[in-house]
């Protein structure tokens, strides 16, 4: 039996992939639905009844509560059990949780996820994993229905570290490209042609190639990372770099952009709406025709 704790935006989609692949899944979430899983009463039941437990939770605070709290996963863990944490969490917290689980002869893998809701539904996520490689080899069949690429980054915390680094670059490209596209609109450029230019030039990036061809048509690719979660990941990144002794000189731009979006009412909307926040203060600009504020 596979256990799954956290059946929200990403977790629900991943759990559905497992169920559709024929895996028996025991799921628990205090808010979200069961996503096709067999519903469990609580975290304790999931842990007791599952050989492998997957987590998809908002942040380290929630992960620690689920893992280390009274009647949490640790309280019911047993030798040989494997927990795979698909959350975006602080590497220091991850290492503490892993050490506590190791004391019970169980394994903890931090598995940062990239690809968003669309990739989760298609089963084409990328996973960046930290922890014991032998444990990773054991869970690969479980990961296969939802992950097209699985990379082992090193010891505990390495997967979540790589996830924070990746998410920072994601935030930079999204925020910077949003600014450029609003400027292009106000300059009177044809935005579809501008995107072709950028994708053929040194300004090419993931947002230019994969997000803005949809956004200029009015499709914000709903269902992905919200502005609030993007901001949370940026703060985790800055904290992580502080711990490493590395200056985070380029964090101010995306922090300002997504902070602006949150304060203008886009906090719980997809982070792609940062372009609308920048457009708001540029005079009510929208990239797609027929929706000018």
> What is the CA 115 to chain-centroid distance, rounded?
8
Compute φ and ψ for 27, nearest 5 degrees. -115, 150
What phi and psi, each to the nearest 5 degrees, are found at residue 58?
-65, -40
Contact 83, 73 (CB under 8 A): yes
Task: Compute the distance between CA of residue 224 and CA of residue 271 in angstroms, rounded to an integer.
Answer: 8
Contacts of residue 193, defined as CB under 8 A and 6 or more positions apart, other chains included, come to none
Is-catalytic flag, 163?
A: yes
Is residue 20 within 8 Å of 6, Cβ to Cβ?
Answer: no
Contact (CB, 8 A) for 63 and 91: no
Name the nearest CA neighbour of 168 among 271, 96, 238: 238
Among 149, 163, 186, 232, the one annotated catalytic: 163
Residues recognised as catalytic? 163
């Amino acid at each position: 039996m596979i256990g799954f704790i956290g059946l929200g935006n990403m977790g629900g989609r991943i759990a559905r992939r497992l169920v559709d692949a024929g895996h028996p899944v025991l799921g628990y979430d205090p808010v979200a639905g069961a996503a096709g899983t067999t519903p469990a009463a609580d975290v304790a039941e999931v842990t007791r009844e599952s050989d492998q437990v997957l987590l998809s939770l908002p942040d380290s605070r929630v992960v620690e509560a689920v893992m280390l709290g009274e009647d949490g996963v640790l309280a019911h863990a047993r030798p040989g059990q494997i927990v795979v944490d698909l959350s975006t969490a602080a590497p220091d917290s991850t290492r503490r949780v892993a050490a506590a689980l190791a004391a019970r002869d169980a394994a903890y893998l931090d598995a940062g996820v990239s690809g968003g809701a669309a990739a989760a539904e298609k089963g084409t996520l990328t996973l960046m994993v930290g922890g014991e490689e032998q444990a990773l080899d054991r869970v690969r069949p479980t990961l296969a229905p939802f992950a097209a690429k699985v990379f082992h980054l090193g010891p505990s915390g390495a997967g979540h570290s790589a996830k924070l680094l990746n998410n920072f670059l994601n935030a930079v490209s999204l925020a910077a490209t949003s600014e450029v596209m609003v400027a292009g609109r106000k300059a009177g450029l044809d935005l579809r042609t501008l995107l072709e230019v950028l994708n053929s030039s040194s300004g090419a990036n993931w947002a230019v190639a994969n997000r803005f061809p949809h956004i200029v048509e009015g499709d914000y690719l709903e269902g992905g990372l919200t502005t609030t979660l993007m901001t949370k990941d940026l703060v985790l990144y800055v904290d992580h770099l502080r711990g490493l002794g590395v200056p985070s000189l380029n964090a101010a731009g995306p922090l300002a952009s997504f902070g602006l979006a949150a304060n203008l009412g886009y906090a719980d909307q997809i982070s792609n709406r940062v372009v609308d926040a920048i457009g708001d203060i540029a005079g009510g600009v929208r990239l797609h025709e027929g929706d000018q504020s």
